[in-house]
Amino acid sequence: MNANESPLRAEPVLRTRGLAMDYGQGAGRVHALDGIELEVTPGEALAVMGPSGCGKSTLLHVLGGLERPSAGEVWVAGRRIDGLSEKALARLRRRAVGFVFQAFHLMDELTAVENVELPALLAGRSSGAARRRAAELLERVGLAERASHLPSALSGGQRQRVAIARALSNEPLVVLADEPTGNLDSVATLDVLRLLDSLRSAGQTLLIVTHDERVAATADRLITMRDGALVDETRLTRGTSGSLGDLVGLER
């Protein structure tokens, strides 16, 4: 199931209704998510912004099946996931969802290509097929010549690109990225942005949680969260019609 096969009726890749997530008891009860209604169409890049503690990471975890919501419904590709068993959720993560984390979360003792082939191996594919796919993906993110490097020999931006390659391993319906540029300097940020942009152009559905406006600016749609609720939605227009001079503020 690839986001590239454009369905006739755009069935949302992700959908939530009344999603809520609570932590703690009594006086210490925290509403991490408070009645979220959300839809993500295939091929769309959605950015989620908000101050820290607003629940955007929690939203991501719930959408990816890493946490179970306290209330509400979540659909992934038309299939309801909020009540699934851990085993089924694992299968979901294998097939439909790819994760990118702020801290990269690469295995320190595996080379780049070994890290990227991991989801395919966990999904039961043969070691040869997994390795080939991993090599392809590393090529795609521009790190083919670093395939046998350990993460400690890679820069922050390179590590995150390896992590993105890993997320693409099982051709997921959607890539969920949690502050992908949070640990990166501005140069590395640009590299990752470029990659995310190229993914978007290729039709990959993306959901990016970020507090960096530059990252959000590469999306098609931006939603803002505050205190667990969606408070704003902006459609970011595509394309730039003006010249460089217009952008920079030099006029004719």
Partner 1 sequence: MVPDGVGVAVKEPSQGYQLRVVQEVLLALLAAEASHGYQLRARLELALGPLAEALNEGQVYVTLTRLEKAGLVTSRRVGQADRPNRKVYELTALGRARVQAWLDDTSWPKPAPAEFHLKLVAAAAADLGDPVRLVDMQRHALLGELAAAQRAALAEPDHSIAGVLLEGVVLRLQADLRWLEACARYWNTTKGRR
Partner 2 sequence: MGRVVLVARLAARDLRRRPGEAALLLLAIAAATSTLTLGLVLRGVVSKPYQSTREATAGPDVVVGGIADRAGVKALTGAPGVVAHSGPYPVVAAALAANGHTVVAQTEGRDSAPAAVDQPKPIKGAWVQSGGVVLEAAFAEALGVSPGDRVTMKALDAPRAPGAKPSARTRGPGRSFRVAGVAVTAAAPPYPEPACLANLCQGDADTGLAWLTRADAMSLAADKQDVGYVQNLKLADPSAAPSFAARYNPPPDASPRAGASGPPPTILQPWQDIREASANLVKNQRRALMTGAWLLALLAVASVAVLVGGRMADQIRRVGLIKAVGGTPALVAAVLLAEYVVVALLAAATGLAIGWLTAPLITEASAGLLGSAGARTVTFSTVGIVTGVALAVAVAATSVPAIRAARTSTVLALADAARQPRRTGWLIAISARLPVPLLLASRVAARRPRRIGLAVASIAITVSGIVAALSAHADIADGSNSVRADRLNQVLLALTITLVALAAVNAIFVTWATALDARHASALSRALGATPQQVSAGLSAAQVLPALAGAALGIPGGLALIAAVDPDSTTMPPLWQLLAVVPATVLVVAALTAIPARVSARRPVAEALRSELA
Contacts within 8 Å (CB) and 24+ apart, 232-238: none
13, 38 in Cβ contact below 8 A?
no
Residues that bind partner 2 (CB under 8 A): 61, 64, 66-67, 86-87, 90-91, 93-95, 99, 101, 103-110, 114, 117-119, 121-124, 126-127, 130-131, 150, 152, 166, 170
- Closest contact distance (angstroms) between CB of 229 and partner 1 is 14
Identity of the residue, 75 or 104, whose beta carbon is nearer to partner 2 in the bound complex: 104
Element (H, E) at 38: strand 30-40
Q: Minimum distance between the CB of residue 197 and partner 1, rounded to whole angstroms?
A: 5
Shortest gap between Cβ of 55 and partner 2 (angstroms)? 13
Instruction: State the Cα–Cα distance between residues 164 and 82, nearest whole angstrom.
Output: 25
**Distances in Å between the alpha carbon of 137 and those of 164, 165, 168, 250?**
9, 5, 8, 41
In whole angstroms, the minimum distance from the beta carbon of 230 to partner 2 comes to 21
Q: Pairing state of beta strands 229-235 and 221-226?
A: antiparallel
Q: Which residue's CB is nearer to partner 2, number 122 or number 135?
A: 122
Compute CA distances 57 → 52, 78, 152, whole Å: 9, 22, 26
Coil vs helix vs strand at 179: coil
User: Among partner 1, partner 2, none, what binds residue 166 when CB lies within 5 to 8 Å by partner kind?
Assistant: partner 2
Choose the contact partner of 4 out of partner 1, partner 2, none; CB within 5 to 8 A by kind.
none
What's the closest the beta carbon of residue 185 comes to partner 1, in angstroms? 13
Instruction: Report yes or no: 92 and 84 within 8 Å, Cβ to Cβ.
Output: yes
Residues binding partner 1 (CB under 8 A): 51, 186, 190, 193-194, 197, 212-214, 216-218, 222, 232, 234, 236-240, 242-245, 247-252
| E strand map for 41-106 | 45-49, 71-76, 79-80, 97-100
Q: Which partner, partner 1, partner 2, none, binds residue 212 by CB below 5 to 8 Å per kind?
A: partner 1
Among residues 122 and 190, whose Cβ is nearest to partner 1?
190
